[in-house]
Amino acid sequence: MGQPHPPFRFTKSRRLVRGVRRWVTAAAGALALTGGLVAVGPQASAAGLTQVTGFGSNPGNLSMYAYVPDALPAGAPLVVALHGCTQSASDYYAKSGWPKFADSYGFALVFPQTTSANNANSCFNWFEPGDTARGQGEALSIKQMVDKAVAQYGSDTRRVYITGLSAGAGMTADMLAAYPDVFAGGSLASGLPAFCANSVSTAYTCMYSPPDKSPAQWGALVRSAAPAGTTSWPRVAIWQGTADTTVKPANATELRDQWTDVWGIGQTPTRTSTLGGGATLSEYDDASGEPAVQVYSLAGMAHGLAVDPGTGPDQCGATGTYYLDTLCSSYHTARFWGLDGDAGQEPGPGSLPAPSGLAVTSVTDTTVSLSWSAVAGAASYQVYRGGTRVGGGSSAGYTDTGLASGTAYAYTVAAVDASGAVGAVSAAVAATTSGYTPTCHTASNYDHTVAGRAYQSGGSTFATGSGQAMGLWNTFTTHTLKQTAPGYYVLADSGCPA
């Protein structure tokens, strides 16, 4: 889909009858002529972009490419970036602007790549149930890339984000729904609601005339795809051009409805502001007063990714087919996620040093208390959990509340001067809440996967978290799984005490 080309899938395992294949090929050729289809670029080979192999079973038949800044420390964030139709990892790397901020803010980048072997127009199959469900197809391949990057680069599992353009944005929405325990945030450029389509025909409907579902109906699609009991959701940025005729602007409204409902907040923006490039930003705050959903509406922009070539700190990318000179979306998205250490606040000329002595003073099953050394000239402090600002105050201490039991968190803090300028961010400290109570679940392998306690790959079943093999994926094989931490299950067939 990503561009004005059909999202048809061709695989060896899914052969269509000959007449349908001829019709699809003719339709694709006609649309290519009228839509200005460009040839698919070569395999990623840009300087600094490296192919990574051996990242898992790869049931979706994808390729993994990565860009990692020199001397990137362990514990840095990770961003996964999905290209659009007819594009490649190298094309998205070269034009999206993300490498600039990986260098300046310090995080690793992973660029998954699909090919015409999976889809006639090299689109991610955002509309195929077998490629979008947790533990299956392309979705599992992308999750395996995250696991590989975390292991290879030491990325912080609490600060993993995903973004995409068009078909890549459609897949991004599906990934956020299926793996909310993996991704802390997402960004969708010219995208569609999660699980809007489940076939080629419904894909076209979503692109050109998305269903007008209620927020609760859209939200239910996300909740049904996520692991049972999920209560923590990714922060989502939505980018949409008002002149987009490939993915109609109504999709941005449906996306807003979907993710505000998931967050349990209303569809009336908390604030609206005007940016450069003809962009209007609407923000929807969560209960703590932090933006949970952002919608960027770009006046007059057609189908594509918003970029703004230049050397300024808020500029990025290169223009090209479906890379449109309006506003640097990668910059604003990175700041929304807190990758700049400022959790979406406007950067100021803060000169205050980073607070020293940040330490965890106490933990309970739902709270973490922190203290640090006061900074001369500080009027207040901002506290960040996993790169997202969660609070602060005028004293050199803070207690974070409402946390999940038995869960690890990372914290940093920055001083704010009397003018409101935020200074340097401290080194991080880690804290794990106490009191997690293990639970046991006996069910068939099929039911375990439906509940998110396990996933299937190649017809076999594996425990979520531990990856322990459980045998064939069916309703006849039964196991007992013990949850020992959030999102982590182990086999306990020999006994599972309460």
Question: How far is Cα 185 from Cα 360, in angstroms, rounded to an integer?
Answer: 26
Q: Which residues are catalytic?
A: 166
Element (H, E) at 346: none
Rg of the chain over all Cα atoms, to the nearest angstrom: 22
3-state secondary structure of 273: strand
* Contact status, residue 75 vs residue 105, Cβ threshold 8 Å: no
Residues in contact with 394: Cβ distance below 8 Å, sequence separation at least 6, in sequence order: 379, 380, 381
Residue 237 CA: distances (Å) to CA of 8, 242, 344, 492: 27, 16, 12, 40
For residue 19 the two structure tokens come to 């007449």
Question: How far is Cα 193 from Cα 209, in angstroms, rounded to an integer?
Answer: 12
For residue 57 the two structure tokens come to 């079973």
Neighbouring-strand partners of residue 428: none
Q: Where are the beta strands (DSSP E) in 20-133?
A: 50-52, 63-67, 78-82, 108-113
Comparing C-alpha atoms, which of 160, 189, 150, 149 is closest to residue 77? 160
* Contact status, residue 431 vs residue 398, Cβ threshold 8 Å: no
Question: How far is Cα 250 from Cα 195, in angstroms, rounded to an integer?
Answer: 16
Surface-to-core class of residue 308, CB atoms within 10 Å of its CB (0-12 exposed, 13-18 middle, 19+ buried): buried
What b/e sequence results for 18-29 when a residue is b if at least 16 CB atoms lie within 10 Å of its CB, and e otherwise? eeeeeebeeebe
Question: How far is Cα 482 from Cα 465, in angstroms, rounded to an integer?
Answer: 11
DSSP single-letter state for residue 253: H
Comparing C-alpha atoms, which of 143, 281, 215, 183 is closest to residue 193? 215
